[in-house]
Amino acid sequence: MDLKAYFDKTEGTGILATADLSGKVDAAVYSRPTIMDDGQIVFIMADRLTHQNLQSNPYAAYLFIESGQAWKGKRLYLVKTKEESDEEKIQAMMKRKQPEDVDKYKNVKKFLVYFKLEEERPLVGEMK
């Protein structure tokens, strides 16, 4: 199953980990990403610590734990490629993916942050 189909159909909890330029790590709960037709992975981000870390260090890891599954999910190793703050695009994506959050985050500065997938692994196992 490709990532677009996987995240469209699979419920679960996601955690996005980033680090600043000095290596200080942050982890935050994030919803499922949007997978674009060209394979880019997109998250809607508020202007908080995760977004700030990505300004100086483009690398991130996303862990997704499937609902109701014992230790099943994915680890995605990502590198930021670009970001934009087009409010119309952000609102359209939020309405499609997280309609309950549209009003909640109406007055919060948000960004669409795009990533390239560098590596995908299962949530547990597969040592290098």
Quick: pLDDT tens for 82-105.
Answer: 999 998 898 888 777 665 655 556
> How many structural domains is the chain composed of?
1
Judge whether 79 and 59 are in contact, CB under 8 Å. Answer: yes
- How much of the chain, in percent, has pLDDT values that exceed 90? 73
* 54 part of a folded domain: yes
What is the domain range of residue 90? 3-122
Predicted local confidence at residue 88, as pLDDT: 87
Predicted local confidence at residue 95, as pLDDT: 73
* 66 part of a folded domain: yes
* 99 part of a folded domain: yes
* 58 part of a folded domain: yes
In angstroms, the CA 49 to CA 109 distance is: 13
Predicted local confidence at residue 15, as pLDDT: 98
Predicted local confidence at residue 106, as pLDDT: 66
Tens of pLDDT along 55-74?
999 999 999 999 987 789 99
Q: How many CB atoms lie within 10 A of CB 28?
A: 16
Judge whether 18 and 54 are in contact, CB under 8 Å. Answer: yes
More confident position, 17 or 90 = 17
Predicted local confidence at residue 93, as pLDDT: 85
* 24 part of a folded domain: yes
Task: Report H helices in the chain.
Answer: 3-9, 49-56, 87-97
Judge whether 34 and 6 are in contact, CB under 8 Å. Answer: no
In angstroms, the CA 21 to CA 56 distance is: 5
